[in-house]
Amino acid sequence: MMVRFFPVAAMVLGVMSLSRGAEAFCRTTTNADFVATTAKPCDDVGTPLAWPGACVGMVVANGSKQVDLATARSVLQQELDLWTTAAECSVCTGMPAGHPSMKVTVGTAGGCTAAEYNQESGNSNTVSYFDTGWPHANNVLALTTVTYSKTSGQIFDADIEVNSGPSIPLTVGDPTGLKVYDLLSILAHESGHVLGLSHTQLANTDATMYPKYEQGQSFMRTPAPDDICGICTVYPVGRSATCDPTPHGGYSSVCGGGGATSTSGGGCHCDVGLGHDEGPVTMTTTFVLTLLGAAWIRRRKK
Ligand SMILES: [Zn+2]
């Protein structure tokens, strides 16, 4: 079933390679089994992921003892704008002047705090804070779950979960020299995953999509030229696409709607199987910290 889509993937990647250097950004693809290595940092088998339209709506489901709801919304919008309306594609060699053809708007509605996709009812693209009850490993700072079509790479839903428990001191101020985690850097990095980017190659040490982060750092707050080249490749200047921020299946703040595929707690690589070629698969990417420094773990098929 998948094989007949491989020529499409090869074509997309072939075009992509024309504007990419040897040590550039990587896109997330439909190849959920891919694990980056030094020899092969970017997948070249699956179809790259992207939102099909020109805009996406997100909501913040809750605040935190560390970050009130209004601040959580404003810093998310600020970081999403740096990826989209404030990004200038001409910093990338060979690209025209202009912004990526994507806009993400943070609304004031609520949202389901679980990272899930409901194939039979409404959805919300959500950021959730967990002061208690963090459903993932203790060394995970934040996690983005993207649900997409296995065949087209079209993104259906994306949810960010942030670990805001007492052992994870977060700041929206200057973290330099402090044993704190920069929420703006975390949101910027996870926003890159929401938009379809994977971790960049290790040479790009100043990139928002660099896979390693340590306490006190803030360099990920502002996307670097490598990040901008990535986002402008996924959503080129002048791309013809309509803007409809309504989530797939309509907006709903209710958890566990029809056909829900929840990944909170399970971290599963679920194929919810619609029974035809457009069946989505859920993939999770993780932003990890360890006591020994930063490390990167990509959640894999169990
Ligand atoms: Zn990441």
Domains of the chain, by residue range, sit at: 3-294
Q: State the pTM of this model.
A: 0.82
Task: Give me ligand 1 centre to Cα 120, in Å.
Answer: 29
Q: For 50-60, write each residue's pLDDT tens digit.
A: 999 999 999 99
| Res 298 pLDDT > 70 | no
Distance from the alpha carbon of residue 229 to the mean position of ligand 1, in angstroms: 17
Residue 212 CA, ligand 1 centroid: distance in Å: 8
Structure token digits, residue 6:
């491989």
Overall average pLDDT of the 209-213 stretch: 88
Distance from the CA of 123 to the center of ligand 1, in angstroms?
Answer: 23
Pairing of strands 280-290, 293-294: antiparallel
Instruction: Judge whether residue 244 has pLDDT over 60.
Output: yes
Per-residue HEC secondary structure of 87-111 comes to CCHHHCCCCCCCCCCCEEEECCCCC
Q: How far apart are CA 17 and CA 89, in angstroms?
A: 17
Burial status of residue 142 (CB atoms within 10 A of its CB: 0-12, 13-18, 19 or more): buried
Task: Provide the CATH number for the domain formed by 3-294 in this structure.
Answer: 3.40.390.10
- Ligand 1 centroid–CA 193 distance in Å is 7
Distance (angstroms) between ligand 1 centre and the Cα of 250 equals: 28
Q: Contact, 258 vs 178, CB < 8 A?
A: no
Distance (angstroms) between ligand 1 centre and the Cα of 297 equals 9
Compute, in angstroms, the gap from residue 81 CA to the centroid of ligand 1.
18
The Å distance, Cα 275 to ligand 1 centre, comes to 30
* Ligand 1 center–CA 160 separation, angstroms: 11
**CB within 8 Å of 173: residues ≥ 6 apart:** none
Rounded distance between C-alpha atoms, residue 110 and residue 298, angstroms: 29
Q: How far is the CA of 35 from the centre of ligand 1 (A)?
A: 13
> How remote is the CA of residue 253 from the centroid of ligand 1, in Å?
26
Ligand 1: centre distance to CA 162 (Å)? 12
- Across the range 264-290, mean pLDDT stands at 40
Residue 285 buriedness (CB in 10 A; 0-12 / 13-18 / 19+)? buried
Judge whether residue 80 has pLDDT over 80.
yes
Grade residue 4 by pLDDT with cuts at 50, 70 and 90.
Answer: very low
Ligand 1 midpoint to CA 11 (Å):
26
Q: How many A from CA of 200 to the centre of ligand 1?
A: 9
Query: Each residue of 118-142: pLDDT tens digit?
Result: 877 788 899 999 999 998 888 888 9
Contact 233, 16 (CB under 8 A): yes
CA of 186 to the centre of ligand 1 (A): 9
Rounded to an integer, what distance in angstroms lies between the CA atom of residue 214 and that of residue 162? 16
Q: Contact, 182 vs 173, CB < 8 A?
A: no
**What residues contact 197, with CB distance under 8 A and at least 6 apart?**
25, 26, 27, 28, 209, 227, 230, 231, 234
Tokens 């070629």 belong to 277
Look up residue 189 and give its DSSP letter: H
Residue 167, CA distances (Å) to 213, 246, 297 in order:
16, 36, 20
How far away, in angstroms, is 142 Cα from ligand 1 center?
9
Distance from the alpha carbon of residue 299 to the mean position of ligand 1, in angstroms: 11
CA 45 to ligand 1 centroid distance, Å: 20
d(Cα 114, Cα 110) in Å, to the nearest integer? Answer: 12
104/252: higher pLDDT: 104
CA of 190 relative to ligand 1 center, distance in Å: 6
Q: By C-alpha distance, which of 253, 266, 263 is closest to 112?
A: 253
Return the closest-CA partner of residue 263 out of 233, 297, 286.
286
- The two tokens of residue 232 are 């402008």
H helices present in 104-207, as ranges: 183-194
Rounded to whole angstroms, the Cα distance separating 84 from 171 reads: 23
Cβ 150 vs Cβ 270: under 8 Å: no
Helices assigned H by DSSP within 18-138: 69-83
Contact (CB, 8 A) for 64 and 187: no
Among 222, 234, 244, which Cα is nearest to 78's? 222
Residue range 18-41: mean pLDDT, rounded: 82
**Helix 183-194 and helix 69-83, axial crossing angle in degrees, nearest 10:** 50
Worst-scoring range by mean pLDDT, 2-11, 149-158, 269-278, 279-288? 269-278
